[in-house]
Amino acid sequence: MAWYLYIACFFSGVFLANGVPHFIHGISGDRFPTPFSRPPGKGLSSPAINVLWGLANFVLGYLLLEAGRVSSHHFWPLLVFFIGMFLMSLTLSMGFKDRSRPG
């Protein structure tokens, strides 16, 4: 498998993990930081923006998942996908700590 397909696998996990908090907050009616808030990533965006941002991450993550040929039949692409998902999840847990809660 070509090296750039492993990059697609990694970023597929990154985008899919990033889509989850935005989508969940958006459909729950909660404001949450996005790159479109002021200041970017720190201010709170509307629930609708979060739904759209979450869906955009899901679409891009899915396209990269397909491009990287991630499947249960291929160990290394699947491992790289989960490494991307793990690292992004860990980064999000530290970066968004207490930002979505008032006070």
Instruction: Classify residue 64 by burial, with Cβ atoms within 10 Å: 0-12, 13-18, 19+.
Output: buried
Token pair, residue 37, equals 């808030």
- pLDDT tens for each residue of 71-91: 888 899 999 999 999 999 999
Q: What is the DSSP letter of 84?
A: H
- Nearest of 82, 72, 85, 27 to residue 51 by alpha carbon: 27
For position 72, what pLDDT does the model report? 85
pTM of the full predicted structure? 0.87
For position 103, what pLDDT does the model report? 46
Q: Work out the end-to-end distance of the chain between its first and last CA atoms, rounded to an integer number of angstroms.
A: 49
Beta-carbon contacts of 66 under 8 Å, excluding residues fewer than 6 positions away, are none
Which residues in the chain show pLDDT less than 50?
100, 103
